[in-house]
Amino acid sequence: MPANDKNRKQSPSSTMSTLTHSDGAGGARMVDVGDKQHSARYARAVGIVRLSAKGVEVLAQKKAEKGNVLATAQLAGIMAAKRTSELIPLCHNLPLSQVALLLELDEQNASVNIEARCKTFAQSGVEMEALTAVAVAGLTVYDMLKSVDRGLRITEIKLLEKSGGASGSWKLN
């Protein structure tokens, strides 16, 4: 085991302060999770797509030229979560047991609110899958509405909570 791996496993605080995806020379490396215990893991992420009044109108009346925007974005987000390890370098391939994606038009705030919840029983966390699901769902909304709403903005993509593994549970305050 490399020296930096030994140091990283000494305490939770040292794990947080050590970069785990680079070697001593600054090169990229995939973290070895082979010795970690499998555990139930969960992550929840959110994001927002900001719309113009025209974008809200098209979504509310279900008149987008490309079809059902929210259903298509939901499917795209689920598919993206399943392919996260192909999109994010050094991300482990996980056996996802659940990807739930909710997209909701908020007419009052001129936005589409996106929430992803991912579960697995694995040796690595599932945060990247939840974040990827939200990001790709937002990009899909953007793609499907860009012809009627040039000012679309994908904002506030963030992890809200995660659980499982040695680091335990975490929630954004």
Domains in the chain with CATH codes: 1-32 (no CATH), 37-171 (3.30.70.640)
143 is catalytic: yes
Q: Is the dihedral of CA 127, 128, 132, 133 positive or negative?
A: negative
Nearest Cα to Cα of residue 94 among 121, 73, 75: 121
Model confidence band, residue 45 (pLDDT cutoffs 50, 70, 90):
very high
Residue with tokens 């079809």: 67
In this structure, how many other beta carbons lie within 10 angstroms of the beta carbon of residue 18?
14
Answer yes or no: is pLDDT of 63 > 50: yes
Q: Which among 8, 127, 142, 159 is positioned nearest to 76, based on CA atoms?
A: 142
pLDDT in tens, 122-143: 988 899 999 999 999 999 999 9
Q: Which of 5, 106, 143, 149 is catalytic?
A: 143
Which amino acid belongs to residue 135?
A
Burial group, residue 12, by CB count within 10 angstroms (0-12, 13-18, 19+): exposed
